[in-house]
């Protein structure tokens, strides 16, 4: 069955869509009350964030727009040292979308939410003209357990850890669009257990950031700017899978600027770096974690290349890969 404009009317059809798809998949008592807002209890300091998702194709190897929409917002909360608790989901659906597609997306959101231990407590649906596309906004609330984690909190001597291989989400989306056959999967994943393991083991994390649009290069430049410091990384140390490396070589791509959806950096005091690395590597989605650099005096991001040269790493200019997330 196809979705038409009536499903966005706020009347009978909207109500059917909510009952048949969203209440079924996001089953929980708060949502089922169908109030104008969810009523929740939270304690003390919270993290609060939002992200919209427009990735195309909607389904790709390793995930879909629903999974990305949950993981993206969950990871943004985690990066502030918060344990994700609640999400909202706002759907903008283009006329002509299959009801089954929306159901599959909702199932996938539900599954990712279960893994991340968050509840989807409020939602909204609008329908616009178009060709069957879907856009999803999620916002999220997390409870902050650990204070002071901030993009502006990196200090000279701190060590930079990266949680795994670069470029997989980007390469998976691009392969799909170009019709290239390979086994590259999106890395899309919720990093709850990795972050929780770091915090529960008393690692004094100074800063965390998920490495999404704009890639590692852009994130490290944001660190440099916000913490007024320099960043030094080593090309040799950057984890990239053989498949993605080959993909990049053929297409002239740089993994430093490629988007990821299940990778983070953590900036850690030098004294705890090895312990933190071991924790990351033992955590789900962290087996390829590596120490990739350090915080230094100065400004900007410098990479020591494999040939022991130096290269200035700037923020992403231009459009990168449109609609990557």
The encoded tokens of residue 230 equal 């320099």
Interatomic CA distance for residues 26 and 208, integer angstroms: 29
Residue 266 CB, shortest distance to its own copies, in Å, is 13
The first and second tokens of residue 216, run together, are: 């590692």
Decide if residue 40 touches its own copies (CB under 8 A): yes
**Token reading at 116:** 């991340």
The reply on whether position 142 binds its own copies by CB under 8 A is yes
Distance, CA of 187 to CA of 171 (rounded, Å): 10
Cβ closest to its own copies, residue 128 vs residue 180: 128
Give the contact letters, 218-247, x = binds to its own copies (CB under 8 A), - = no. x---x---x---------------------
Of 34 and 242, nearer to its own copies (C-beta) is: 34
Q: Which of 57, 128, 156, 236 binds its own copies (CB under 8 A)?
A: 128
Packed helices 168-178 and 242-251: angle between N→C axes, nearest 10 degrees: 50
Is residue 305 near its own copies by the rule CB under 8 A? no
Residues 6+ apart with CB under 8 A from 323: 54, 55, 56
Under rule CB under 8 A, which residues in 151-190 are in contact with its own copies? 151-152
Reported as type and span, the H/E element at residue 14 is helix 12-17
| CB nearer its own copies, residue 143 or residue 275 | 143
Considering the rule CB under 8 A, would residue 60 count as an interface residue with its own copies? Answer: no
Residues from 106 through 125 that contact its own copies (CB under 8 A): 121-125
Specify whether the CB–CB gap between 47 and 142 falls below 8 A. Answer: yes
Q: Does 9 bind its own copies (CB under 8 A)?
A: yes
């Amino acid at each position: 069955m196809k979705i038409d404009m009536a499903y966005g009317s706020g009347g009978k059809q909207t109500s059917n869509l909510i009952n048949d798809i969203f209440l079924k998949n996001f089953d929980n008592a708060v949502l089922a009350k169908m109030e104008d807002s969810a009523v929740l209890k939270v304690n003390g300091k919270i993290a609060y964030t939002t992200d919209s998702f427009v990735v195309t194709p909607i389904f790709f190897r390793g995930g879909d727009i629903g999974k990305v929409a949950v993981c993206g917002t969950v990871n943004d909360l985690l990066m502030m040292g918060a344990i994700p608790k609640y999400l909202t989901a706002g759907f903008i659906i283009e006329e002509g979308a299959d009801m089954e597609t929306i159901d599959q997306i909702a199932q996938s959101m539900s599954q990712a939410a279960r893994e991340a231990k968050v509840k989807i407590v409020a939602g909204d649906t609008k329908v616009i003209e178009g060709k069957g596309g879907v856009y999803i906004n999620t916002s999220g609330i997390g409870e902050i357990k650990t204070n002071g984690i901030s993009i502006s909190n990196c200090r000279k001597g701190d060590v930079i850890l990266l949680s795994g291989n670069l470029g997989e989400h980007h390469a998976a989306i691009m392969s799909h669009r170009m019709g290239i056959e390979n086994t590259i999967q999106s890395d899309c994943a919720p990093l709850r257990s990795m972050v929780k393991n770091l915090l529960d083991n008393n690692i004094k994390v100074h800063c965390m950031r998920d490495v999404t649009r704009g890639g590692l290069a852009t994130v490290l430049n944001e660190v440099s700017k916000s913490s007024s410091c320099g960043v030094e990384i080593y090309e040799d140390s950057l984890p990239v899978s053989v498949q993605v490396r080959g993909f990049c070589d053929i297409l002239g791509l740089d993994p430093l600027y490629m988007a990821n959806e299940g990778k983070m950096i953590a900036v850690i005091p030098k004294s705890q770096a090895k312990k933190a690395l071991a924790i990351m590597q033992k955590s789900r989605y962290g087996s390829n974690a590596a120490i990739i650099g350090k915080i230094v005096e100065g400004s900007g991001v410098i990479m020591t290349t494999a040939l022991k040269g130096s290269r200035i790493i700037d923020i992403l200019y231009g459009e990168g890969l449109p609609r990557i997330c």
